[in-house]
Amino acid sequence: MSEQITLEQLKGLCLEMFKQKAAVAKIKEHKTAEEKKLKEMQDKIIFHLESHELKTFDTGVGKVTRKNQPYAKIIDKDALTKELKERGIFEDMITYNATKMNSWYKEEMEKAKEEMNLDFKIEGMDVSSNRVSLSVTGVKLSEV
């Protein structure tokens, strides 16, 4: 870790972090808008390729190719789970959403506290480690 700093220096470091956080938020906002424009352009090009009955189009600068690929959508989780287990690939195919799992764990832990359940535990989950993070409140990033 770095050397000890004064509280005034810590205040300055926090202010710089607030400014950096605001800069990142602006970039993300701009990125989202630019990605939306890109998607709209791609959709328009696909439409025109289809209307001209073209699969590939050479622009002289690069080629664009219209692809038609199947997209798998889960319509019955129970049936899919059964299928994957029968094939012996369930564990390889399924992933857990860590954010949702942590949120669910916290909810269950709060319920256990309210019920005075001192033996609260969820099988298969280990919560012996803690993640240290920084929470920022009261700052309007647009004003930094």
φ/ψ of 21, rounded to 5, equals -65, -40
Tens of pLDDT, residue by residue over 6-40, are: 999 999 999 999 999 999 999 999 999 999 999 99
Q: Would the pTM count as exceeding 0.75?
A: no
- 56 beta partners: 65
Q: d(Cα 142, Cα 18) in Å, to the nearest integer?
A: 10
Tens of pLDDT, residue by residue over 37-71, are: 999 999 999 999 999 999 999 999 999 999 988 88
Residue 1: band (very low, low, confident or very high) from pLDDT cuts 50, 70, 90: low
Q: d(Cα 49, Cα 77) in Å, to the nearest integer?
A: 36
Q: d(Cα 29, Cα 33) in Å, to the nearest integer?
A: 6
Task: Answer positive or negative: Cα dihedral of 99, 103, 104, 105.
Answer: positive
Q: d(Cα 45, Cα 37) in Å, to the nearest integer?
A: 12
Rounded average pLDDT over 72-93: 94
**Residue whose pair of structure tokens reads 């005075």 in the numeric block:** 116
Which residue intervals of the chain are DSSP H helices? 7-51, 77-87, 90-93, 98-114
